[in-house]
Amino acid sequence: MDWWNKILNIKSTIENFLSANHDGTIIIRGATATGKSGLSIELSQYFDMEIISADSRQIFRLMDIGTDKVSKEIREKVPHHQIDIVDPDETYTAGQRKQDSETIVEQILSRKKIPVIVGGTGLYIDTIYKNFTMPESAPDPIFRATMEEKEKAEPGFLHAELSRIDPDEALKIHPKATRYLIRALEIYHTTGKTKTEGFIQQPVKHPLLMLGIRRETEEGNRLINARIKQMLKNGLIDEVKSLLNAGYTADLQSMNGIGYKEVIGYLQNQYDFEKMEELLKKNTHHLAKKQRTRFRRYIAEGNVWARENVQYQVLYL
């Protein structure tokens, strides 16, 4: 099926959904470089909608090329939210994201427009789709530093500690996923409740139409490689230089994202340009694979998409 007919079919699906759900919200999710943003912009020609980014990196100001933000020209034509809201050295938690996104959805609906959530960060999508209760747990830099030191001194400490405190959550996190392990421990440290106890799934607040974007793996990898070449051509290296010159250090969580950490290594003479590009491709392919696996697992686990007031459709682009 050609692109035009695919768009018409998607348009028809959305029209049918909205005719039955006047306060409906649309989610477009998928792995990196599958064409989510392009599809949302295409659909904006047919629907009076506003877009909410569900990307964990596009929240940061000054980080445009490496996060593949939609251009400012497009954003002037189609309102976008959750982009450029914090500086690279600021923290913005999933709990804040959930609360702010819910507020934005209500504001869009009050304007008689259609909220469309677009992104590939599974946690941010799930805060809407699963509508978790999320206990307020502010970041504790001292606790995080202490946990990092303990993990360095005794590899495996974090996973063992989480297994003791919250075994259900420990089963979901890879033993080497330090950042996620520390966050789960931090929640218990600051609230007295485990993540399993604090994150409880609730009914959705508004009817949802979930559009899961898929591409064949080979095509997805080709698009990733093309995107990386375009980012480098557009000035990714200069963008990273500017961030470093502005005082944003390599150890920041924002600077550890794919596209930034690889360029920092190149600028620090850890490897040459060709190796940097190879790492960019390798790490992005790995991320896309993880995202595809996560999406497939959701569908496989007892048809979890089949929830009240939620429709789900896989779209092959």
Residues 52 and 33 in one domain: yes
Report the domain count for the chain.
3
Reply yes or no on whether the pLDDT at 304 is more than 60. no
Residues 60 and 207 in one domain: yes
62 in Cβ contact with 29 (< 8 Å): no
How much is the pTM? Answer: 0.89
Amino acid at 243: L
Reply yes or no on whether the pLDDT at 35 is more than 80. yes
183: left (phi over 0), alpha (psi -120 to 50) or beta: alpha
Span 239-269, pLDDT tens digits:
999 999 999 999 998 999 999 999 999 999 9
For residue 146, the domain's CATH number is 1.10.20.140
Return the pLDDT at 14.
96
Reply yes or no on whether the pLDDT at 301 is more than 80. no
Return the pLDDT at 302.
45
Distances in whole angstroms, Cα of residue 309 to Cα of each of 148, 287, 298? 42, 30, 17
Residues 17 and 85 in one domain: yes
Average pLDDT of the residues of the chain: 91
Amino acid at 97: R
Residues 88 and 159 in one domain: no
Q: Residue 86 gets which letter from DSSP?
A: B
Span 109-140, pLDDT tens digits:
999 999 999 998 888 888 888 888 877 788 88
Contacting residues for 144 by C-beta, under 8 A, at least 6 apart: 182, 186
Return the pLDDT at 125.
87
Reply yes or no on whether the pLDDT at 306 is more than 60. no
Tokens for 222?
A: 């080709």
Nearest partner of 273 among 310, 306, 229, judged by Cα: 229
Q: Average pLDDT in the 211-217 region?
A: 89
CA atoms within 13 A on the CB side of 159: 10
Q: Spell out where the chain has E strands.
A: 25-30, 49-53, 80-81, 114-119, 208-214, 310-316
Residues 67 and 188 in one domain: no
Residues 25 and 89 in one domain: yes
In degrees and rounded to multiples of 5, residue 198 shows phi and psi of -90, -25
Residues 260 and 119 in one domain: no
Return the pLDDT at 219.
92
In degrees and rounded to multiples of 5, residue 305 shows phi and psi of -70, -20
Residues 208 and 72 in one domain: yes
pLDDT tier for residue 25 given thresholds of 50, 70 and 90: very high
Residues 164 and 115 in one domain: no
Return the pLDDT at 47.
97
Residues 171 and 146 in one domain: yes
Range of the domain at 248: 218-288
| Helical H segments across 235-272, by residue range | 236-245, 261-267
Residues 151 and 179 in one domain: yes
Return the pLDDT at 305.
52
* Cα 99 from Cα 101, distance rounded (Å): 6
Reply yes or no on whether the pLDDT at 40 is more than 90. yes
Span 145-196, pLDDT tens digits:
999 999 999 999 999 999 999 999 999 888 988 988 999 999 999 999 999 9
Residues 8 and 82 in one domain: yes
| Helical H segments across 91-216, by residue range | 94-110, 122-129, 141-153, 157-165, 167-172, 178-191, 195-198
